[in-house]
């Protein structure tokens, strides 16, 4: 099928060495009941057979862009810049979508600049069998979003591409929580917190799970803790004042995330600073006092903060 000149949707799939799963992701997009789309696959420096798998589809709607490795946020931004669709959505290369995915998102985007849907999150055994599954559904996003309902996982939201570009796209420096950080800037652009409104005229919501999101199960590691620490501190630098004035619980949560991961890395003074900031907040004071005290406890590097497992980044 030829690539439409001005498609309704641009679907962006960033990928890196995912030749084993990228084909399933592409097939799920090409099987959509809504056919007015283009699919931009941005290869973030793969060294496997990813390019061969993508090119084998022979569908003109599939655009393949090879880039040097700069991270998935930069790859998503490249795809958004290259796209020509009115609406923009992202899908990770190890996930896939149901046939009515774009059709249901389009129904919401007819009246709103952002639309969200649910996701079925699954964890698979090495032989590919589903060993656990749970739905992630749009939920109340809190006062920063004017209590709109939504879900900002890759594949679970679509937005007006002009809004994405105006907000500046993803922060390419982040290797964790990049969807969350973008959603906070989108909330600012739409004035959700300032106006205290996040109704369906701003974020349309479909509770049906339309994307299958594969949960990773990577061991906890210093690299992962560093990514989480840097992401939490970046979000606090940019959005901390909004959190502090409009959602103290969120402010507390991000200082807690930063503090725990700093402690896991053995940076106890840095952790102590984050826990100290939270002491004046009513909610969670006791927990943060205990965390603060624990930073003085002797023990091996990262004790008692070391997690046995860490979830994959969204």
What tens digit of pLDDT does each residue of 98-125 get? Answer: 999 999 999 999 889 999 999 999 987 7
Claim to verify: residue 129 and residue 169 sit in the same structural domain: yes
Q: Is residue 34 situated within a structural domain?
A: yes
Query: What distance in Å separates the CA atoms of residue 49 and residue 14, rounded to the nearest whole number?
Result: 15
CATH code of 128's domain: 3.90.550.10
Query: What distance in Å separates the CA atoms of residue 180 and residue 213, rounded to the nearest whole number?
Result: 16
Looking at 166, 185, 214, the residue that finishes a domain is 214
Q: Which stretches of the chain drop beneath a pLDDT of 70?
A: 194-198, 217-219, 278-289, 298-314
Q: Is residue 305 situated within a structural domain?
A: no
Q: Give per-residue pLDDT as tens, 210-257.
A: 999 988 755 578 899 999 999 999 999 999 999 988 998 899 889 989
Claim to verify: residue 83 and residue 143 sit in the same structural domain: yes
Q: Is residue 140 situated within a structural domain?
A: yes
Query: What distance in Å separates the CA atoms of residue 187 and residue 193, rounded to the nearest whole number?
Result: 7
Claim to verify: residue 201 and residue 257 sit in the same structural domain: no
Looking at 183, 214, 245, the residue that finishes a domain is 214
Query: What distance in Å separates the CA atoms of residue 44 and residue 13, rounded to the nearest whole number?
Result: 10
Nearest to 230 by CA among 278, 177, 153, 272: 177
DSSP string of the chain? -PPPSS-SEEEEEEESS-TTTHHHHHHHHHT-S---EEEEEEEES--SSHHHHHHTT--TTEEEEEE----HHHHHHHHHHH---SEEEE--TT-EE-TTHHHHHHHHHTT-SEEEEEEEEEEE-TTS-EEEEEEE--EE--GGGTT-EE--STTSEEEEHHHHHHHT---TT-SSSHHHHHHHHHHHHHTHHHHT---TTTEEEEEEEEEEEEPP-PBP-HHHHHHHHHHHHHHHHHHHHHHHHH-HHHHHHHHHHHHHHHHHTT-HHHHHHHHHHGGGSSTTHHHHHHHHHHTT---STTTTT--SB-PPP-
Claim to verify: residue 72 and residue 123 sit in the same structural domain: yes
Query: What distance in Å separates the CA atoms of residue 34 and residue 86, rounded to the nearest whole number?
Result: 14
Claim to verify: residue 166 and residue 256 sit in the same structural domain: no
Nearest to 36 by CA among 94, 91, 96, 105: 105
Claim to verify: residue 29 and residue 170 sit in the same structural domain: yes
pLDDT attached to residue 111:
85
Full-model pTM: 0.89
Claim to verify: residue 44 and residue 184 sit in the same structural domain: yes
What length does the chain have? 314
Q: Is residue 207 situated within a structural domain?
A: yes
pLDDT attached to residue 4:
74
Claim to verify: residue 127 and residue 272 sit in the same structural domain: no
Claim to verify: residue 287 and residue 154 sit in the same structural domain: no
Phi, psi of 219 (to 5 degrees): -60, 145
pLDDT attached to residue 310:
35
Cβ atoms 311, 216 nearer than 8 A: yes
Claim to verify: residue 150 and residue 271 sit in the same structural domain: no
Claim to verify: residue 140 and residue 270 sit in the same structural domain: no
Q: Is residue 250 situated within a structural domain?
A: yes
Q: Which domain holds residue 263?
A: 222-294
pLDDT attached to residue 140:
93
Claim to verify: residue 210 and residue 228 sit in the same structural domain: no
pLDDT attached to residue 302:
47
Q: How many domains does the chain have?
A: 2
């Amino acid at each position: 099928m030829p690539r439409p000149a001005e498609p309704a949707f641009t679907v962006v799939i960033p990928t890196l060495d995912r030749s084993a799963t990228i084909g399933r992701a592409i097939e799920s997009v090409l099987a959509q009941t809504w056919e007015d789309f283009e699919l931009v696959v941005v290869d973030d420096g793969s060294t496997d057979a990813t390019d061969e798998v993508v090119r084998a589809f022979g569908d003109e709607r599939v655009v393949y862009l090879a880039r040097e490795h700069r991270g998935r946020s930069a790859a998503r931004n490249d795809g958004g810049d290259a796209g020509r669709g009115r609406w923009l959505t992202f899908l990770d290369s190890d996930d896939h979508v149901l046939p009515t995915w774009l059709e249901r998102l389009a129904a919401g985007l007819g009246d709103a600049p952002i639309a969200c849907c649910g996701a079925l999150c699954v964890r698979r055994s090495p032989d590919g069998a589903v060993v656990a599954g749970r739905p992630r559904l749009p939920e109340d996003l809190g006062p920063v979003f004017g209590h709109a309902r939504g879900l900002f996982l890759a594949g679970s939201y679509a937005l007006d591409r002009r809004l994405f570009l105006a907000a500046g796209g993803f922060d390419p420096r982040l290797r964790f929580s990049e969807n969350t950080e973008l959603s906070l800037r989108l909330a600012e652009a739409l004035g959700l917190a300032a106006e205290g409104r996040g109704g369906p005229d701003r974020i349309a919501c479909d509770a049906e799970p339309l994307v299958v999101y594969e949960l990773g199960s990577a061991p906890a590691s210093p690299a992962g803790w560093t990514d989480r620490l840097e992401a939490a501190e970046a979000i606090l630098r940019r959005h901390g004042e909004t959190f502090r004035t409009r959602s103290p619980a969120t402010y507390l949560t991000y200082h807690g995330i930063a503090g725990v991961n700093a402690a896991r890395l053995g940076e106890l003074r840095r952790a102590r600073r984050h826990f100290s900031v939270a002491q004046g907040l009513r909610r969670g004071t006791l927990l943060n006092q205990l965390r603060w005290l624990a930073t003085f406890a002797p023990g091996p590097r990262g004790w008692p903060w070391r997690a046995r497992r860490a979830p994959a980044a969204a």
